[in-house]
Amino acid sequence: MTAFRRLATGGRIDRTRRHAFHFDGELCKGFAGDTLASALLAENITLVGRSFKYHRPRGFVSAGVEEPNGLFTIGEEGRTEPNISGTTIELSDGLKARSQNAWPSPAFDMMAVNSLAAPLFQSGFYYKTFMGPTKGSWMFYEPFIRKAAGLGAGTYMADPDRYETRYAFCDVLVIGSGPAGLAATLAAARTGARVALTEQDSELGGSLLSENSEVNELWRTEVIAELESFPNVELKSRTTAQGIYDGNLVALLERRDHLRPQPRKGEARQILVQLRARSIVFATGALERPLVFSNNDRPGVMLASALRTYLNRYAVAPEQRTLIVTNNDTAYGAAFDLAAAGVAVSVADHRSTIAPALLNRAASAGLAIFPGTGIADVEGSKGVVRGRLSGAHAAVVECDAVGMSGGWSPAVHLTSHGGIKPRYDETIAAIVPGDLAAGHFGAGAVMGTFGLASAISLGSAAGINAAAFAGLTRKSKPVAPPAGAEDHSYSILPVWTAPRESKGKAFVDFQNDVTARDIRVAHEEGYHSVEHLKRYTTLGMGTDQGKTSNINALAIMAGLRDVPLADAGTTTFRPPYTGMAMGAIAGRTIGHHFRPHRRSPLHDWHQANGATFLEAGLWMRAWYYDWAGDTPEAAYVKEMELVRKGVGISDVSTLGKIDVRGPDAAEFLNRVYVNGFAKLPVGKARYGVMLNDDGVVLDDGTTTRLTDDHFYMTTTTAQAGEVMSWLEYLLQTQWTDLKVHVTSLTDEWGGMAVSGPKSREALQLAFPGSNLSNENLPYMGCLDIRQDGVRIRLLRLSFSGELAYEVHVAADFTASLWEHILEAAAPLGIKPYGLEALASLRIEKGHVAGLELDHRNTLDDLGLGKMAGKEKAYVGKELRFREKLQAPDRWSLVGLELLEPDRKLRGGAILFAAGEPIKGHGRGYITSVTWSTELGKFIALALYQGGLKHEGEEIICAFPLKDEQVRARIVSPHFIDREGARLHA
Amino acid sequence: MRIPCPHCGERDVSEFRYGGDATKKRPAHGTGDLKAWHDFYFLFDNPKGPHLEYWQHVLGCRQWFRLERNTATNEIGEAS
Amino acid sequence: MLERHSALARATPYRSSILRMGEAREFSLVQVAGFGKAFEKAITPFLGKLPAKVGNALDQHGRTLMRTEPNQFWIVGPENDDIAAKLHTHAAVTPLSHSRTRIVIEGAPARNLLAKGIPLDMHETAFKPGVFAMTGLHHTPVLLHCVGENRFELYAMRTFALSVWEWLTDAALEYGSQIATSL
């Protein structure tokens, strides 16, 4: 019966440092240097979970990242992490691990009844059961199925740990620190290259850590010591290369959580590093694959290499007897080491002919060898009692553990991320990397070369070549291998399918409970392509992504289809190589730091003076002020009244501001605006509209001529960046003959609008030395004045429709000037008004803004067609006159008045003609809504089919989200002061 | 992806904005009929493989340039 | 009297024994731009030798000159610098002193700190004193100038300066700040 024990000596564990941990509430003990898996095995806990669908008892299969079975939920509360493989968790004191998918415990699992209903869960179960006529039943069964099948559950609590991201650069990146990786790193380091070595394990050494060779261990420690002496080398253990992307971008996950269970303030638990390497050496090794036979998922059936790792690295061995089943030479390493540790070892070898040297050594080590023999089945329910052999020696062998080796699969994952298909190499019955991309090099088992001597010599060469590719050609002497290192033979006999005698479930993918029979069913039902096979059976999905199962499945399918394995194809390898915390992907891009905020120079003042903020794009804008009310609805109406009747001041610093200068500045503006700017007099501002090349409105704003060759442009807040890039595009790529410079001044200048019938009076109080009369500063005029030596630009512009000015000043002075105006004009009752009132005032005036300028509307749609110059050329002129853009029934700008006094208009409401069925997209929609203080009712701007041709008609505004319909009348969008008397006052 | 800005050198793609097909000639200002502009603005070859594109080093020197990029592999060529 | 108000006036200061960060005010920033060699020839008498390519900075006559575009320079000088007036007739001169907030970052962890957000090689052999780069930090455009082995001046957009500062102080928490962090 399966049983494991800790040996008194040996291994790489530190017996002086004990770690106590909990597994399913039970207190267990292990040592520093253990993994959760090795510590559990040392405690003889071999049944650690239940399988995904059938709830079969499961134990550890492997000792590494490929682990399909031994998944745990680690940690508590916000630190709960499900589906973590016990083979990769470093044991720490106080660790809390729970088994998954078993209730009440893995040993006694109620859901094991699923095994009896097994036929239900075969390939395509969901499709067959819940598609077609029985589709509705999914609703009923889903909760039961979700509960019965699955992996661990996450938590809804916030993760208290910190995650970060970082950028890094190097000349040569070496991935993997086995003998090939160590040799590559050392060889590259000697050229002077900046080298980074990443290793997912806690220790450097790769396969060397699983061996029991003093001479190799000496080589390993000497090489690492030498590497540590190089200032140009960075050794990064506990760092997994998760993916390779364009331009040799490598995603590295650095794990630091082992260092401190409770990280210090500001210390990241995991860091996702975006590393740019000039060249890469892949030394990612290979993964051993299981054999397919009945009940090969029983706890105690493990990879032969895993038994060797547990023995040599963790001093954990099967109690008495081990059966090794293999089709190649490598499993003998485990057999010899186990025998030396006092375990009785039998070896069933699929091959009839075994190298004499191996047989001689086996004989002297006391191994029982069964050539030409495989394994058909194991007996035992929650562990292994005996193995049933088949073939030349159909014996029954009592054992505590079965170590299987179906050969080795190079870890080609990372080499394939760039889209390079791996290929099948018949000589080693394995998938190996395809032709590597330029700047990519490989060495060791990942390239399909097994053996220490060649790993080191090829690794050394790869390191030198990678450094040369990165431009470092200094001579580097090859790395010397340990004394006596040689390449052992591999001589694999491919074995993919279960022997005929295998009657029970023979698993291919342990994690997803996919059996050889499932693959047969998929084949019978026509799912032949590997991509279809994967999706029909779920094979290769889950946390292990089929690291142990893919090639066996491919081979079985190839056999069923009767095609060579090389022609069967492979599924696509995608990042990440191993599971990772979502937190690491987010890094600090969470909460407050999710995105940057843009703040006006008046932000601090707003904050200190009762403003409520609204996020508009990235900007934090003062929405309304508490002097006017506690809610936006109450406040904006009072703020509007302030502007209509007295004087208010509002922050317009967010407007895009662009300095346009150069001898051709006037010509340039004359081209980009639809209306003329060539003859704009100095000291005058003009409203302008720009189109895209496609004839659709891009943006509007006012531009002022300061001198002959110097203009001050403003854009809408939302389009500022877009307009700036567009102007630069035109000047730098299309009109390179024009001598014009454009510079953004959005951050240099702050701005405020002083609006209302008393605004001139207010500014005159603030700037008593300046002549602000209607003659000296008329509508659309510009005046630069100085106050305390500071230049101030007064522009007589109006967004609200009232007599109004914009006051612009350098950003650092904006707050001080704002306070000065408030103080000077206090006798007039001046107060600040916010974005909501600003935007509402312009609706009354009928000014279009961002909601109407949505990159879909033409000048004519917005009622601005007459602005465009008839004779002059301007951007977008030709395509503006496309037939469809000139169609008379286009949705165009109208005003709406609500006809039902106690109800509301809503932005986004869909418009229908009166009496029309309320269905579909309607004839238009409302873009902007406000309460009109002047008219005492709700008004709106809208786009309506045919536009003002329907002026005076009554329509329906439907708002299906609230199941509302209200009546409104189409009117002119200019609700107030159509003659502009107020503007010119 | 790394993009070689002609003025700042090789930089991370996050510093740039994409600006469209650079193989097509925009009609000179004030020239070209509706068809010429239509063809310029709306008709693209959308090749799989080598392509010439506009990019702007928008977080850097703000210069626009033409860049050779393979649309299938993201292999980057000359910038000018 | 109009007084200046910094974008970081109300920012929480950063304190640490190994890293110094703070706003460095009192400078003037003037952008000059022109066309071709004639422009460069015209401004040289006022400024001295001009940096040859984008990314190079030269300290001359108490000012730092940076070539920020092929035909454009930034002149960083003392707060009351009168260079703008002198160059006015020779180039397109745009005062930008208010548009940028200058943050000094100094100390052994400075490079590691910046590597958390700036996609440039911050290694001391790659980003040396005298070099500057216009790049991105926290999605915003910044100019990073290396002025000493582990001393940097970061020019952030004024309107983004507080966000950039909050990003920096958050990233620098592990170097021993006493301020509290928020999620």
Per 3-state DSSP, chain B is made up of helix, strand and coil in percentages (nearest 5) of 15, 40, 45
- Per-residue pLDDT at A496 exceeds 70: yes
A contacts of C98 (beta carbons < 8 Å): 747-749, 810-813
Please give, rounded to a whole number of angstroms, the shortest distance from the CA of C139 to a CA of chain A.
7
Helix (H) or strand (E) holding A327: none
A754-779: pLDDT as tens digits: 999 999 999 999 999 999 999 999 99
Measured distance CA(A970)–CA(A951) in Å, rounded: 5
**What percent of chain C clears pLDDT 70, i.e. is strictly above it?**
96
Bridge pairing between strands A656-661 and A710-715: antiparallel
Token reading at A19: 């770690």
CA distances from A81 to A164, A257, A470, A579 (A): 18, 13, 40, 11
Do residues A978 and A847 lie in contact, with contact meaning Cβ atoms separated by under 8 Å?
no
The confidence score (pLDDT) of residue A260 equals 65
DSSP letters, A388-453, are EEEES---EEE-SEEEEE--EEE--HHHHTTS---EEEGGGTEEE--SPPTTEEE-GGGGT--SHH
Token reading at A746: 């959005």
C contacts of B9 (beta carbons < 8 Å): 55
Q: Which residues of A174-202 are buried (b: 16+ CB within 10 A; e: fewer)?
A: bbbbbbbbbbbbbbbbbbebbbbbbbbbe
Residues whose CB falls within 8 Å of the CB of residue B46, separated by 6 or more in sequence, listed in order: none
**Residue of A167, A735, A878 lying closest to B34 (CB–CB):** A878
Chain B contact probe: residue of A246, A250, A878, A881 with most B CBs at under 10 A? A878
Phi, psi of A417 (to 5 degrees): -60, -30
**Residue of A165, A788, A820 lying closest to C116 (CB–CB):** A165
HEC profile for A618-649?
CEEEEEEECCCCCCHHHHHHHHHHHHHHCCEE
- Per-residue pLDDT at A741 exceeds 70: yes
The confidence score (pLDDT) of residue C182 equals 40
Fill in the amino acid letter for A538: T
A contacts of C116 (beta carbons < 8 Å): 164-167, 588
- Per-residue pLDDT at A147 exceeds 80: no
Helix (H) or strand (E) holding B19: strand B17-21
- Per-residue pLDDT at B51 exceeds 50: yes
The confidence score (pLDDT) of residue A825 equals 98
CB distance from A93 to chain B under 8 Å? no
Burial (Cβ within 10 Å: 0-12, 13-18, ≥19) of residue A295? buried
The confidence score (pLDDT) of residue A487 equals 79
Measured distance CA(A600)–CA(A586) in Å, rounded: 28
B contacts of C120 (beta carbons < 8 Å): 11-12
Q: Which residues of A140-172 are buried (b: 16+ CB within 10 A; e: fewer)?
A: eeeeebeebbebbeeeeeebebbbbbbbbbbbb
Mean pLDDT, all residues of chain A: 94
C contacts of B62 (beta carbons < 8 Å): 69
A294-349: pLDDT as tens digits: 999 999 999 999 999 999 999 999 999 999 999 999 999 999 999 999 999 999 99
Q: Do residue B17 and residue A725 have CB atoms under 8 angstroms apart?
A: yes
Give the count of beta carbons closer than 10 Å to the beta carbon of residue A965.
16
**What percent of chain A clears pLDDT 90, i.e. is strictly above it?**
88
Do residues A310 and A316 lie in contact, with contact meaning Cβ atoms separated by under 8 Å?
yes
CB distance from B1 to chain C under 8 Å? no
Measured distance CA(A285)–CA(A311) in Å, rounded: 20
Q: What is the DSSP letter of A120?
A: G
**Mean local confidence (pLDDT), A511-519:** 94
A851-875: pLDDT as tens digits: 999 999 999 999 999 999 999 999 9
A417-429: pLDDT as tens digits: 988 899 999 999 9
- Per-residue pLDDT at C181 exceeds 50: no
CA distances from A222 to A136, A204, A235, A480 (A): 66, 12, 14, 11
Q: Do residue C141 and residue B58 have CB atoms under 8 angstroms apart?
A: yes
Residues whose CB falls within 8 Å of the CB of residue A202, separated by 6 or more in sequence, listed in order: A90, A237, A238, A258
| Cβ under 8 Å to A: B residues 6-65 | 12-13, 17, 19, 22, 26, 29-30, 32-34, 36-38, 40-42, 54, 56, 58, 62-64
Coil/strand/helix, residue A155:
coil
Measured distance CA(A674)–CA(A668) in Å, rounded: 12
Token reading at C149: 């082995």
Instruction: Report if pTM > 0.80.
Output: yes
Do residues B15 and C135 lie in contact, with contact meaning Cβ atoms separated by under 8 Å?
yes
CB distance from C52 to chain A under 8 Å? no
Measured distance CA(A862)–CA(A846) in Å, rounded: 10
Comparing alpha-carbon positions, the chain B residue that sits nearest to A248 is B1
Give the count of beta carbons closer than 10 Å to the beta carbon of residue A961.
9
Q: Which residues of A80-116 are buried (b: 16+ CB within 10 A; e: fewer)?
A: bbbbbbbbbbbbbeebbbbbbbbeeebeebebbebbe
Give the count of beta carbons closer than 10 Å to the beta carbon of residue A559.
16
**Residue of A733, A735, A879 lying closest to B34 (CB–CB):** A879
Q: Do residue C7 and residue A601 have CB atoms under 8 angstroms apart?
A: yes
| Cβ under 8 Å to B: A residues 685-714 | 693-694
Assess whether the previous peptide bond of A57 is cis (omega < 30° from 0).
Answer: no
Assess whether the previous peptide bond of A576 is cis (omega < 30° from 0).
Answer: yes
Fill in the amino acid letter for A824: A
Confidence tier at C63 by pLDDT (50, 70, 90) = very high
**Mean local confidence (pLDDT), A446-470:** 96
**Mean local confidence (pLDDT), A606-634:** 96
- Per-residue pLDDT at A562 exceeds 90: yes
B contacts of A249 (beta carbons < 8 Å): 1-2
Nearest alpha-carbon partner for A560 in A595, A520, A600: A520
The confidence score (pLDDT) of residue A152 equals 84
Do residues A908 and A959 lie in contact, with contact meaning Cβ atoms separated by under 8 Å?
yes
The confidence score (pLDDT) of residue A153 equals 85
Q: Which of A224-238, A261-275, A469-483 has the lowest mean pLDDT?
A: A261-275
Mean pLDDT, all residues of chain C: 93
Comparing alpha-carbon positions, the chain C residue that sits nearest to A592 is C183
Burial (Cβ within 10 Å: 0-12, 13-18, ≥19) of residue A917? exposed
- Per-residue pLDDT at A127 exceeds 70: no
Q: Do residue C54 and residue B61 have CB atoms under 8 angstroms apart?
A: yes
Token reading at A48: 């650690």
A contacts of C126 (beta carbons < 8 Å): 169
Do residues A571 and A530 lie in contact, with contact meaning Cβ atoms separated by under 8 Å?
yes
**What percent of chain A clears pLDDT 70, i.e. is strictly above it?**
95
Q: Which residues of A269-285 are buried (b: 16+ CB within 10 A; e: fewer)?
A: bbbbbbbbbbbbbbbbb
Confidence tier at A264 by pLDDT (50, 70, 90) = confident
Sign for the pseudo-dihedral over CA of C84, C87, C89, C95 = negative
The confidence score (pLDDT) of residue A126 equals 62
Rounded to 5°, angle at Cα A175 from A174 and A180: 75
Residues whose CB falls within 8 Å of the CB of residue A950, separated by 6 or more in sequence, listed in order: A894, A944, A970
**Mean local confidence (pLDDT), C74-92:** 93
Nearest alpha-carbon partner for C159 in A720, A822, A166, A800: A720
Do residues C27 and C79 lie in contact, with contact meaning Cβ atoms separated by under 8 Å?
yes
- What is the count of residue pairs from A and B with beta carbons less than 8 Å apart? 55
Give the count of beta carbons closer than 10 Å to the beta carbon of residue A526.
9
- Per-residue pLDDT at A116 exceeds 90: no
- Per-residue pLDDT at A812 exceeds 90: yes
Coil/strand/helix, residue A103:
coil
Q: Do residue A693 and residue B37 have CB atoms under 8 angstroms apart?
A: yes
**Residue of C9, C96, C115 lying closest to A604 (CB–CB):** C9
| Cβ under 8 Å to C: A residues 734-753 | 739, 741, 743-749
CB distance from A590 to chain C under 8 Å? yes
**Mean local confidence (pLDDT), A960-966:** 95
- Per-residue pLDDT at C183 exceeds 60: no
The confidence score (pLDDT) of residue B42 equals 96
Measured distance CA(A334)–CA(A403) in Å, rounded: 8
- Per-residue pLDDT at C67 exceeds 80: yes
Phi, psi of A933 (to 5 degrees): -70, -30
- Per-residue pLDDT at A120 exceeds 70: no
